[in-house]
Structure 1
Amino acid sequence: MEEQSGFARTVTARAPGKINVSFECGDPREDGFHPVATLYLAVGLDEEVTARHRDDGEIAAELDDASSIAVDQASFPVGADNLAVKAALALRDATGVHAGADLRILKRVPIAGGMGGGSADAAAALVACNALWETRLSRQDLASIAAGLGSDVPFALFGGAAVGLGRGEDLAPVPLRTESHWVLIPASYGLSTPKVYQELDRQRERADVSVPAPQEVSPEVLHALLEGDPLKLAASVHNDLTPASIALAPELAHVIERTEEAGAHKTLVSGSGPTLACIAHSSAHAERISMQIRDELDLQTIVVSAPAAGASILPNCGAV
């Protein structure tokens, strides 16, 4: 690899998207954040960030033309509004390094889809710039920076499966020994996470319901995932945000019903949506469900397995 100004010229890192197998949410705290108890699962659908050293100290993002999802170039944020840029700036502030980078982002995770694509970009940017700038922070140090960037960014760093408490950033790893299989259905539109939470608050206010901060995820869903039993998992998954997501995108209810008729054990809204995740029994079953959904509903599908590893440097690009 070419060297210049003491730094490697480019480093590429990848980080996984996620689904929330379980998501419980309390009423908003004084700081405005909702306390959650969620079961994160990293899936085999990655974002990639290639960090190229800049001598002028600037940090900017650009979209990789090879991205597999449709992205409006005109609205793609290239400055501090981009979470990957925020991550690089936060790393620089934390370490005092005087360096810049161009961040080329290859997107595969649906945008505003409830799968943490922006969080994966941030995690990949942290790992890539940590190697590019030779700041040599540990994974735990990077996680501390990640927690200040967004609730899902720490999980994208570690991947696998984990219980998330607090805002979701307080992680307890869940050691999985079995693989699960999923069919993802991205929507042609996005849902704003803050707007979904606002709708949830309105629904609870209208129903005069108060929900305390959850302290743990359901033991049933945790055991089902640990056992690798897709039928038990289908019977135990839950997402408190689903009614709010459906209120903002009513067509989701119809798609959920039709996908379960097509053979999915269960179809759930991932996070705040609108991406849907269908539980399959095996990889072959997932392929059959995917084909039927495409043929009968004319919807895009992505077959993935889980768990997936956390953010990492791609081969021949160094290590963190």
Structure 2
Amino acid sequence: MTNPAASLVVHARAPGKINVFLKVGAVLEDGYHEVATAYQAVSLFEDVRAWPADDFSVEFTGPIDASGLAVDGSNLAIKAARALARQAGYRGGVRLSIAKNVPIAGGMGGGSADAAATLLACDTLWGTDATRDDLITIAATLGADVPFAFTGGTAVGTGRGDQLSPALAKGQFHWVLALADFGLSTPGVYNELDRHRERHAQDIFPAQLQPTVDANVLQALRAGDPRMLAEALHNDLQAPALHLAPGLGQVLELGEANGALAGLLSGSGPTVAFLVADADSALELQVALSAARLRVVRATGPVHGARIIHD
């Protein structure tokens, strides 16, 4: 006799993100920094499928090379599943298969999207009846970007980036993403930022302990105006990331010379996100960057956060 649950699969999807604004506060005694960021969820999605199992496992598919990712208990998706099982008192496990479309260690929150989609998939698979707030609370314990991958859309993040306030955004923004063939360590980029600030202490204003998002960014998002947003894009982690990977500067120059309204590193990089005026401009820039042998994808935002997909 077959077990009907064995063939049950739940499919959840969560988006990657671009930080259209990121201000990093001064380093705190515990080594962390408070941030003020404006997140936009974009149409590069992680697809998580979950099956009942006795233990916890994860495998990866999709166009992104995931051969270097951990598949043991240190993987963020496994951590998410175990955290929900603990809270719900669930004694079984889950087999996860994740189709990766968001760059790894690319500053776009791919691992966070995996965790958010896993929480939703496992909640549905196990019938835990956790509330949305319950799942977001668990998400916040897993990493600063996980709650946003769960909620999606456009939001302001403060604290470590996990204290979210929805932001109004009108219309659709078009992005062209230049994907690097290497990753950058987020802690490494933050450490380089601290060194950068020490080196240039005489030339730059001291960092605030509690930074805020520039009002011009929120106004541009509310207006749905890509040109206005292009003027307001900012990322404090860009200078240290460029110091660690100088070749990214040439990518930024190339995109801006071929029609981008502006470009910036997403999060801690090394993905370079170019904002363009419309879909036609996005296609033209994709062609130009592809001709320079860069790996390029187009995306739009904002998009929904984690949700169940009915195949």
Give your verdict on TM over 0.5.
Answer: yes
Distance in 2 separating the partners of 1:3 and 1:256 = 54
Distance in 1 separating the partners of 2:227 and 2:236 = 20
Equivalent of 2:242, from 241, 246, 250?
A: 246
- Alignment of 1:308 with 2:303, yes or no, is yes
Tell me which residue corresponds to 1:275: 271
**Aligned amino acid, residue 216 of structure 1:** T
Task: Give SS of 1:301's match.
Answer: strand
Give the superposed CA RMSD. 1.5
Equivalent of 1:62, from 53, 59, 64?
A: 59
TM-score (norm 1): 0.93
Tell me how far 1:30 sits from its aligned partner.
Answer: 2.8
Give the 5 Å matches for 1:171-182.
171-182=164-175
**Aligned amino acid, residue 70 of structure 2:** P
After superposition, the C-alpha distances for 1:6-50 in whole angstroms (9 at most, x for unaligned) are: x87211100000000000001222332210000000000100111
Tell me which residue corresponds to 1:92: 85
Distance in 1 separating the partners of 2:37 and 2:73 = 28
8 Å CA contact retained: 2:170, 2:221: no
8 Å CA contact retained: 2:24, 2:33: yes
Tell me which residue corresponds to 2:181: 188
Unaligned runs of 5+ in 2: none
Tell me how far 1:86 sits from its aligned partner.
Answer: 0.5
Distance in 2 separating the partners of 1:237 and 1:245 = 16
Identity, % of aligned positions: 47
After superposition, the C-alpha distances for 1:158-184 in whole angstroms (9 at most, x for unaligned) are: 000000000000000113231100001
Change (3 A) 1:227 1:21: same
Tell me how far 1:235 sits from its aligned partner.
Answer: 0.8
Task: Give SS of 1:291's match.
Answer: helix
- Alignment of 1:105 with 2:102, yes or no, is no
Change (3 A) 1:165 1:8: farther
After superposition, the C-alpha distances for 1:109-145 in whole angstroms (9 at most, x for unaligned) are: 0000000000000000000000011001111110100
Tell me which residue corresponds to 2:24: 25
Tell me which residue corresponds to 1:81: 74
Deviates more, 1:307-316 or 1:273-282: 307-316
Distance in 2 separating the partners of 1:43 and 1:298 = 23
Task: Give SS of 1:148's match.
Answer: helix
Unaligned runs of 5+ in 1: none
Instruction: Kindly report structure 1 stretches of 4+ aligned residues shifted beyond 6 Å.
Output: none
Tell me which residue corresponds to 1:16: 15
> How many equivalent residue pairs?
307
Tell me how far 1:288 sits from its aligned partner.
Answer: 0.8
TM-score (norm 2): 0.95
8 Å CA contact retained: 1:62, 1:104: yes
After superposition, the C-alpha distances for 1:280-318 in whole angstroms (9 at most, x for unaligned) are: 1011111111111111x21111111100100011115xx
